[in-house]
Structure 1
């Protein structure tokens, strides 16, 4: 049985449903019916503002964010849809920490739910560093339906690959 990239950890029954959608050419119809809109967060400045609004709504006491930007260098194949970093530097006699969030630039053209899912995921790392139960509970708190949106985002990535490179089944 062949496998679908991006869906390795999901049950075989779900993978088979997606495989059938791929083979029949119905991925776009599935995604369009669930996520018909697009967002207006196109610049790094608006992405920063958007991320701060989400942070303020759910993580008021979390550390501040110094920079948020779209990054064309993030590689989807390396499972980097977003990236959070904390850089510490000695500045005078003090240690300064800067926190950055980078979002893969492919999300400029994605559904607003997908962008929010990535932002929520990276913001959750401000409180929980590991992908553990508490991390995913926080993600679900900030974005109800987080798990379904994450699954559909993976289906979206398959569809993008299919559009660019032919069949998504590997």
Structure 2
């Protein structure tokens, strides 16, 4: 039985089920059945619009986001799937805050529900900096299936670690 880096902290019965799927080479089949296609949001402009649509629906009163981009420098091995940054710049005697969201490039070809989960997670950090109860409540408000999607995203990362990418250019 191997160490499943992305599933640490989950109950042992789930780990056993995933290990069983890996042994039977059925994890990839499971993921492709549940999520048959990757999304078509390939440009940073399209990604920005997608994230802004979610923000405008659920976080209309939150500060604006300056940039949303895919970032090849984010390594999921370091437990980062996306990043939110708050940059303060001085313009004259005023201080301007810029908020940016970066999504790991591995999600450029992932299924749309998993991209949405990453977007929702990073947007929730606009209101809640820490991963606390209020943070996860906000995530579930924006995406009711948030916890299942997070688990499925971890399954996808496990499969990618084992055999490489599942979804490629559409």
1:6-63 Cα offsets, whole Å, 9 max, x none, are: 1011000000100111111111111011111221110001000010000001110111
Q: 2:87 is paired with a residue of what secondary structure?
A: strand
Say what the alpha-carbon RMSD is for the aligned residues. Answer: 1.2
Once the two structures are superposed, the pairs formed by residues 44-83 of structure 1 within 5 Å of their partners are 44-83=44-83
Structure 2 residue aligned with 1:127: 127
**Per-residue CA distance 1:64-103 (angstroms, 9 max, x = gap):** 1000000011001001110000000111000011100000
5+ residue gaps in structure 2? 165-170
Q: What is residue 167 of structure 1 aligned with on the other side?
A: none
CA contact (8 A) 2:66 2:98 kept: yes
Paired with 2:17 and 2:111, the residues of 1 have a C-alpha distance of 22
CA contact (8 A) 1:3 1:15 kept: no
Counterpart-to-counterpart distance in 1, 2:80 and 2:125 = 14
Partner of 1:97, secondary structure, is strand
Aligned to 1:108: 108
Counterpart-to-counterpart distance in 2, 1:154 and 1:93: 45
Runs of 4+ in 1 over 3 A off after TM superposition: none
Q: Which runs of 5+ in 1 are unaligned?
A: 165-170
Q: Secondary structure in 2 aligned to 1:6?
A: helix
Partner of 1:156: 156
Aligned residues: 165
Q: What TM-score do the two structures reach when normalised by structure 2?
A: 0.94
TM-score, length of structure 1 as denominator length: 0.94
